[in-house]
Amino acid sequence: MLKRLTLALTVLLTAPVASAETFVFTAIPDEDETRLQQRFQNVADYLEEKLDVDVRFVPVKSYAAAVTAFRNNQVQLAWFGGLSGVQARARVEDSRALAQGVEDAEFMTYFIAHQSTGLEEGEGLSDEMRDMTFTFGSKGSTSGRLMPEYYLREAFGQPPEEVFSRVGFSGNHSRTISLVASGAYDLGAVNYTVWENEVEAGNIDTDQVEVVWKTPHYPDYQWTIRGDVDERFGAGFADRVREALLNMEDPELLESFPRSGFIPASNDDYAIIESVGKELGLID
Amino acid sequence: MWHSATVRLSLGFVALAIFCLGIADLSITAHEPWHELLRLLQGLVQPDISAVDDLGVALLRTLAFAFVGVGLGAAAGFLLALAFRSRLVRSACAFVRAIHELFWALIFLQFFGLHPLTGVLAIALPYAGVFAKVFAEILEETDPLPEHVLPAGSGRLSALAFTRLRDAWPHLVSYTSYRLECGLRSSAVLGFVGMPTIGFYLESAFAQGHYNTVGALLLLFYVLIATLRLWVRPLLVPVYLVVAPFCLGSGLPIVWSNVSRFFTEDIVPAPLRHGEGVSGLASWFGDLMAHEALPGIWHTLVLTQIALVLTGILALVLYPLVSRHFFQRRFDQNRTHRSGNAKPGNRLAHLLGHGLLVVMRSTPEYLLAFILLQLWGPSMLPAVVALAIHNGGIIAHLVGRRSNEVNLRPDAPQGLERYAYELTPRLYGPFLALLFYRWEIIMRETAILGILGITTLGFYVDSAIQEIRFDRAMVLILITALLNIGVDVFARHLRAKLRLRHTANCEP
Amino acid sequence: MSTLALIDAVADYGHQRVLGPLNLTLKRGERVALVGKSGAGKSSLLSVMHQHWRGRGAALMPQELGLVASLSVFHNVYMGALAMHPTWYNLVTLAKPFRRDVAAIRPLLERLSIDDKCWARAGELSGGQRQRVAAARAIHQGGEVLLADEPVSALDGPQSETLMVELTRAYPTAVLAMHDVELALRYTDRVIGIAEGGIALDAPSVQLTAQDLLPLY
């Protein structure tokens, strides 16, 4: 039996000799993870057609996992959040932001509140919020963690743990909404596109939960590609990827992100995110 | 009764837990917790799998990871068990099993990435440590005499095969099959960090509140575990072991340079990497201890204490459900022709009791805590309840089984008196031994539940990983491991002091 | 081997001395009966002898027999010969015995009238049957000296005679702890009486009667 196990292990280690020239990408959509593989397979097919290489989509569970896969060269292209993009580019030489969603140039976070708090719609960050409970989204999210924390510190002059009686991390935006809607938390910070889409889809009982403040604009999600793809897939490959992304017009494909279209982006667009990240001690 | 060290110790534990209750945060913060629970129940009644990509593949992967991981773990654990006298081997085993498989998965994810090896090793490594310990205990308990009388010059392997191994074989097999069940749970839970098992979809479905999908996945998982005995047959196991490695999927190729980078760069403390020297390291470490490690340790200890005592109480309350002294067993009928005694009501109660305990112990505590957290909001309460349900179910099952070995005199009292005078006093020693045995496991699980947002050590480990600071994550994981080892040593000390014997082979 | 000797041998149980120090020499071909009341140190002495002489071909048949309950009678007997075969051979035998080993062990079991139990598990046998299996193992092992602790205690008259014959024929030298004094005197040529952890009597069997041994009990 031992011999058999050793054999099995050898097979296990050597089996995945997938073609070295498969272009792999990953993405964490900010909502709706159902049939992720199937939906992004369509994006992969689209890229495959435009780029003439094998393209594969790999789902991951967290921003950190996406950054790690990107850094480890297990994926070459990723749809990152603002913060995770900065983290990833800091770790991979010559990697660059290619494109962002139309909505991402002027992104926002909504602060939402359960009706029992008595807070008025659009009343801003006020001292009445002190000692309430508050939830971020996932720990590594830009719109669910980084920017809301930044604005909270700016408004209250204190870290969130001192402002609120309890601070949690829901894990993602959809869950933030449902936790605040159920009253598990009084307040939450949520990606505005997710909020708008859920309201539009009629998934939110706006009698129970409402938007109390909208942050100023900041840049968020973007496509980032590794610097060494030209070497591996041929000169000008990164530019061809950017072309393909910018030309993606099929609403069904864009729905997966969900964005209305993609526009060019550069590393410099995210300088503000980097400085906020450093200020909050989330980036060394 | 108060003079008994066992009773005094138990009361001490309960008092400590009550004190911990006072300082722990156990509030239900959800305004409509029952509404969510109702939705979950509706999901279980109306399961729907249409929202999952490839359910068949997910199930196959769940099984494959469990078989390969447990198979490798058992093989390695067996070899280590033979060398368990060596202090080095014992310490190494204690160390690898002190780190939860999810932490191992998070570590391997950093350099093997989404390769099947990540999931396989995450199971195989800690399991090898557990197997080594339990196998060594089982071998130790066999009769040493047959080996002693063997002629001088009998080869070590021959001697082992004919005597201790032969004697221990049924226990080794039954323990391994029990661990296979654990392996299935671990395999499923690994999906929460990105392995392509059933947990991957379960997490997504939960995150979005798709309770119909959640219900379907949960039901499938229970069916898988409940039918284990039907399809895991001695003759089929080798077939499964051979086939499983080919069913892991290919994942992404391993880039070996990442492995060396992890060890030479990622886990080197930041001050050393930036050349700030020992003083920089000291302040970095001090900061980590003060703001993350110490609060994490404190919360881990408090939560563990409450969960441990609640587990014990639950086990004591529930063990009669599976004890023949309270409910007639079904096969008593065939065996003794006393069928007149077996009331159908009793039989039903017996079946329900068994079913309840099976569901309790086959739900992974991680999953249970996750569900309760969704329902009740974030506090220690979901974690405490999840740990107590899962572990209480296991211990109740084992104590109940043990009670069936007790023979009562024909005129023994009935009902509550039977419970209080006849059975519980006889079973209390084994019960306490089992509980202390599970102490280490409860603490390991407590730490890991931090990933869900309860501020035990796992919370800070997860934060460090989300911030891509593996140097901090590694220090915190090491602290977690040391804490586990400490509790294990302490529990063993208590067991020895109270002379609590336990038989390894009935112990998960 | 010409003589086997114990010099200043002791045995401790915990902190308590249960045997010795004592000196004892055994000549080749000698058959020694160890007599004395229970607890006098007979088993301890046998165990010390086994420790010292195991490497020189001593076989031990302990009072608890040391059978593997889950193995068949055949395998338990075969274990006496483990040292004579390579490991692979032993492992194959565990799964499927070789014909020549069965042919060697069968007649032995026949002589002890347990051949009908050849493939039964040792754990399923009666006390007397188990004792004969342990004896068969010792006989199959062969060697220079047999150390047996109450080898016939669970057997009735004729059976114990048969077994004593077989045991003493298989080993040129033997040390047998026995409580049946008559039997001991008939099958041995030297009697060592043990009392309180020391040698209280050491004499040729022919010079002794059962009466002479009574003070030891």
Q: Is the pLDDT of residue A15 over 50?
A: no
Q: What 3-state class would DSSP assign to C198?
A: strand
Confidence of residue B235 (pLDDT cuts 50, 70, 90): confident
Same domain, C49 and C71: no
Confidence of residue C206 (pLDDT cuts 50, 70, 90): confident
Residues of B in contact with C96 (CB under 8 A): none
Q: B360-401, pLDDT tens digit by residue?
A: 888 888 888 888 887 777 789 999 999 999 999 999 988 998
CA distances from C147 to B304, C65, C171 (A): 55, 12, 10
B143 in reach of chain C (CB within 8 A): yes
C57 in reach of chain B (CB within 8 A): yes
Nearest Cα to Cα of residue B136 among B189, B180, B82, B188: B82
pLDDT of residue A14: 46
Residues of B in contact with C83 (CB under 8 A): 150-155
Chain A contact probe: residue of B102, B366, B454, B467 with most A CBs at under 10 A:
B467
Confidence of residue B209 (pLDDT cuts 50, 70, 90): confident
Q: What is the mean pLDDT of chain A?
A: 88
Q: Is residue C161 part of a domain?
A: no
Which two tokens mark B18? 């009550």
Residue labelled with tokens 């047999």 = C146
**Three-class secondary structure assignment of B445-486:** HHHHHHHHCCCCHHHHHHHHHHCCCHHHHHHHHHHHHHHHHH
Same domain, C51 and C84: no
Q: What is the mean pLDDT of chain B?
A: 87
Q: Is residue C26 part of a domain?
A: yes
Q: Is the pLDDT of residue A97 over 70?
A: yes
Q: Is the pLDDT of residue C169 over 50?
A: yes
pLDDT of residue B328: 60
Tell me C63's DSSP state.
Answer: T
Percent above pLDDT 70 for chain C: 99
Spatial contact of A70 and A226, defined as CB atoms under 8 Å apart: yes
Q: Is residue C96 part of a domain?
A: yes
Chain A contact probe: residue of B195, B468, B470 with most A CBs at under 10 A:
B468
pLDDT of residue B340: 41
Domains recognised in chain B with CATH numbers: 10-46+267-332+341-508 (1.10.3720.10), 54-255 (1.10.3720.10)
Of B145, B154, B166, the CB nearest to C66: B145
Residues of C in contact with B159 (CB under 8 A): 82
pLDDT of residue A16: 43
Name the residue of chain B whose CA is nearest to A60's CA: B194
Residue pairs between chains A and B whose CB atoms are closer than 8 Å: 163
DSSP per residue, A70-139: HHTTS-SEEEE-HHHHHHHHHHSTT-EEEEEEGGGGGB-EEEEEEGGG-PPTT--S-GGGTTSEEEES-T
Is there a contact between C94 and B167 if contact means CB atoms under 8 Å apart?
A: no
Half-sphere exposure of A130 toward its Cβ, with a 13 Å CA cutoff? 9
How far apart, in whole angstroms, are the C-alpha atoms of residue C80 and residue C82? 6
Domain spanning A18-104+219-279, CATH class = alpha beta
pLDDT of residue B122: 97
**More confident of the two residues B72 and C196:** B72
Mean pLDDT over B26-48 rounds to: 79
Q: B153-208, pLDDT tens digit by residue?
A: 888 889 999 999 988 998 899 889 889 989 999 999 999 988 989 999 888 888 77
Count the Cβ atoms, other than its own, within 10 Å of residue A253.
17
Chain B contact probe: residue of C90, C131, C140 with most B CBs at under 10 A:
C90
Phi/psi region, residue A26 (left: phi>0; alpha: psi -120 to 50; beta: rest), is beta
Is there a contact between B158 and C82 if contact means CB atoms under 8 Å apart?
A: yes
Q: What is the mean pLDDT of chain C?
A: 89
Q: Is the pLDDT of residue B480 over 90?
A: yes
Same domain, C100 and C118: yes
Same domain, C33 and C79: no
How far apart, in whole angstroms, are the C-alpha atoms of residue B254 and residue B272? 28
pLDDT of residue A11: 47
Percent above pLDDT 70 for chain B: 93
Confidence of residue B332 (pLDDT cuts 50, 70, 90): very low
Is there a contact between B245 and A179 if contact means CB atoms under 8 Å apart?
A: no
Residues whose CB falls within 8 Å of the CB of residue B338, separated by 6 or more in sequence, listed in order: B332
Spatial contact of A34 and B210, defined as CB atoms under 8 Å apart: yes
Q: Is the pLDDT of residue B335 over 60?
A: no
Length of chain A: 284
Q: A164-222, pLDDT tens digit by residue?
A: 998 988 888 888 998 898 888 899 999 999 999 889 988 888 888 999 999 999 999 99
Give the lowest-confidence range in B463-467, C27-31, C35-39: C35-39
Of C54, C61, C91, the CB nearest to B152: C54
Same domain, C149 and C53: yes
Q: Is residue C163 part of a domain?
A: no
B163 in reach of chain C (CB within 8 A): yes
Q: Is residue C46 part of a domain?
A: yes
**More confident of the two residues B24 and B298:** B298
Give the distance, in angstroms, between the CA of residue A158 and the centroid of all CA atoms in the same chain.
26
CA distances from C187 to A14, B494, C28, C30, C137 (A): 69, 54, 16, 11, 20
Chain B contact probe: residue of C63, C79, C92, C147 with most B CBs at under 10 A:
C79
- All partners of chain A with 3 or more CB pairs under 8 angstroms: B
Residues whose CB falls within 8 Å of the CB of residue C200, separated by 6 or more in sequence, listed in order: C36, C193, C194, C216
pLDDT of residue B324: 85
A208 in reach of chain B (CB within 8 A): no
- All partners of chain B with 3 or more CB pairs under 8 angstroms: A, C
CB contacts under 8 A, C 162-191 vs B, are: none
pLDDT of residue B2: 62
Of C57, C68, C83, the CB nearest to B163: C68
Which two tokens mark B156? 């070590």
Length of chain C: 217
Residues of A in contact with B205 (CB under 8 A): 34
Spatial contact of B304 and B490, defined as CB atoms under 8 Å apart: no
Is there a contact between A185 and B29 if contact means CB atoms under 8 Å apart?
A: yes
Spatial contact of B235 and B187, defined as CB atoms under 8 Å apart: no
Same domain, C51 and C77: no
How far apart, in whole angstroms, are the C-alpha atoms of residue B259 and residue A230? 24
Percent above pLDDT 90 for chain C: 45
Spatial contact of B476 and B292, defined as CB atoms under 8 Å apart: yes
How far apart, in whole angstroms, are the C-alpha atoms of residue B131 and residue C69? 25
Is there a contact between C66 and B155 if contact means CB atoms under 8 Å apart?
A: no
Spatial contact of B424 and B491, defined as CB atoms under 8 Å apart: no
Is there a contact between A64 and B258 if contact means CB atoms under 8 Å apart?
A: no
**More confident of the two residues A154 and B328:** A154
Q: Is the pLDDT of residue C96 over 60?
A: yes
Give the distance, in angstroms, between the CA of residue A40 and the centroid of all CA atoms in the same chain.
15
Mean pLDDT over C114-131 rounds to: 92
Count the Cβ atoms, other than its own, within 10 Å of residue B15.
11
Residues whose CB falls within 8 Å of the CB of residue C175, separated by 6 or more in sequence, listed in order: C26, C32, C34, C46, C49, C145, C146, C147, C148
Same domain, C45 and C88: no
Same domain, C135 and C178: no
Mean pLDDT over A15-19 rounds to: 43
Residues whose CB falls within 8 Å of the CB of residue B176, separated by 6 or more in sequence, listed in order: B70, B74, B131
Domain boundaries, chain A: 18-104+219-279, 108-214
Q: What CATH number does residue C216 fall under? A: 3.40.50.300
B194 in reach of chain A (CB within 8 A): yes
Q: Is residue C122 part of a domain?
A: yes
Q: What 3-state class would DSSP assign to C81?
A: helix
Q: A106-139, pLDDT tens digit by residue?
A: 999 999 999 999 998 888 899 999 999 999 998 8
Nearest Cα to Cα of residue B390 among B451, B449, B462: B449
Dihedral sign computed on CA atoms, order B58, B70, B122, B482:
positive
Same domain, C135 and C87: yes
How far apart, in whole angstroms, are the C-alpha atoms of residue B404 and residue B116? 43
Decide: residue A228, CB within 10 A, 0-12 exposed, 13-18 middle, 19+ buried. middle
Q: Is the pLDDT of residue B275 over 70?
A: yes
Of A34, A166, A185, the CB nearest to B210: A34
Percent above pLDDT 70 for chain A: 91
Confidence of residue B412 (pLDDT cuts 50, 70, 90): confident
Spatial strand order of the sheet with A109-114 comes to A166-169, A133-136, A187-191, A109-114, A209-214
Nearest Cα to Cα of residue B473 among B485, B458, B488, B493: B458
**More confident of the two residues A15 and C124:** C124
Q: Is residue C162 part of a domain?
A: no
Spatial contact of B406 and B423, defined as CB atoms under 8 Å apart: yes
B150 in reach of chain C (CB within 8 A): yes
B167 in reach of chain C (CB within 8 A): yes
One fold for A18-104+219-279 and A108-214: yes
Dihedral sign computed on CA atoms, order B125, B127, B130, B133:
negative
Which two tokens mark A206? 């706006």
**More confident of the two residues B503 and A97:** A97
Q: Please give the CATH superfamily to which domain A108-214 belongs.
A: Periplasmic binding protein-like II (3.40.190.10)
**More confident of the two residues B128 and A21:** B128
Same domain, C97 and C109: yes
Confidence of residue B31 (pLDDT cuts 50, 70, 90): low
Is there a contact between A64 and B204 if contact means CB atoms under 8 Å apart?
A: no
- How far is the alpha carbon of A283 from chain B, nearest alpha carbon, in Å? 7
Of C60, C70, C141, the CB nearest to B166: C70
Q: A221-255, pLDDT tens digit by residue?
A: 999 999 999 999 999 999 999 999 999 999 999 98
Q: Is the pLDDT of residue B295 over 90?
A: yes
Q: Is the pLDDT of residue C1 over 80?
A: no
Is there a contact between A67 and B248 if contact means CB atoms under 8 Å apart?
A: no
CB contacts under 8 A, B 260-289 vs A, are: 270
Q: Is the pLDDT of residue C10 over 60?
A: yes
Spatial contact of B151 and C143, defined as CB atoms under 8 Å apart: yes
DSSP per residue, chain A: -HHHHHHHHHHHHHS----TT-EEEEE--SS--TTHHHHHHHHHHHHHHHHSS-EEE---SSHHHHHHHHHTTS-SEEEE-HHHHHHHHHHSTT-EEEEEEGGGGGB-EEEEEEGGG-PPTT--S-GGGTTSEEEES-TT-IIIIIHHHHHHHHHHSS-HHHHSSEEEE-SSHHHHHHHHHTTSSSEEEEEHHHHHHHHHTT-S-TTTEEEEEEPPPB---EEEE-TTHHHHH-TTHHHHHHHHHHT---HHHHTTTT-S-EEE--GGGGHHHHHHHHHTTS--
Spatial strand order of the sheet with C58-61 comes to C58-61, C145-149, C173-177, C31-35, C190-195, C198-204
Half-sphere exposure of B363 toward its Cβ, with a 13 Å CA cutoff? 23
pLDDT of residue A23: 94
pLDDT of residue B490: 92
Spatial contact of C181 and C213, defined as CB atoms under 8 Å apart: yes
Decide: residue A186, CB within 10 A, 0-12 exposed, 13-18 middle, 19+ buried. buried
Domain that holds residue C177: 1-57+145-154+172-217
Same domain, C138 and C149: no
Confidence of residue C182 (pLDDT cuts 50, 70, 90): confident
Q: Is residue C164 part of a domain?
A: no
Q: Structural domain tally of chain C?
A: 2
How far apart, in whole angstroms, are the C-alpha atoms of residue B291 and residue B269? 16
Residues of C in contact with B145 (CB under 8 A): 62, 64-66
C73 in reach of chain B (CB within 8 A): no
How far apart, in whole angstroms, are the C-alpha atoms of residue B29 and residue B378? 7
Chain A contact probe: residue of B27, B39, B208, B246 with most A CBs at under 10 A:
B208
Helix (H) or strand (E) holding B170: helix B164-190
